[in-house]
Amino acid sequence: MKRKVKVFIMGIIENNTVLNVMPVGFDNRLSRKALIGICGLSDRQVRKAIEDIVESKQAIIINMHKGYFIPNLENKTDRDYYRLFISQEESRINKLNKKMKSYNKMSEKILSALNE
């Protein structure tokens, strides 16, 4: 079997493994360490599977208070944690955007000085 096909198939298997054990609801959340133990995958494989699942829109998986879970949006507590998670992610994005603007300005100054 060609390597790319094998890696693709393994990714699907890992994603399904993680998705099948991912709990629903904040009260049922699992630590990444627990997910690693249950799934028999490495830390990196679990993180990658969660990323793939979310990016492919198979499920909403959030990490709050040291645990991963699929929020039950019909439950007020889960909705509140989901909103908090989104707010935290948006804050991270804003901070990264500010940092990138600073990097770009600094590199423009340096490159401009080199071209003089």
Predicted confidence (pLDDT) at residue 48 exceeds the cutoff of 60: yes
Distance CA 42, CA 59 (A): 21
Mean pLDDT score of the chain: 89
User: What integer pLDDT is reported at residue 3 of this predicted model?
Assistant: 54
Predicted confidence (pLDDT) at residue 15 exceeds the cutoff of 90: no
- Its pTM stands at 0.79
Q: In degrees, to the nearest 5, what angle opens at C-alpha 99 toward C-alphas 95 and 101? A: 120
Measured between alpha carbons, how far is residue 47 from residues 2, 18, 112 in Å? 25, 10, 40
Three-state DSSP string of 92-109:
HHHHHHHHHHHHHHHHHH
Predicted confidence (pLDDT) at residue 71 exceeds the cutoff of 60: yes
Predicted confidence (pLDDT) at residue 43 exceeds the cutoff of 90: yes
- Phi, psi for residue 14 in degrees, rounded to 5: -60, -45
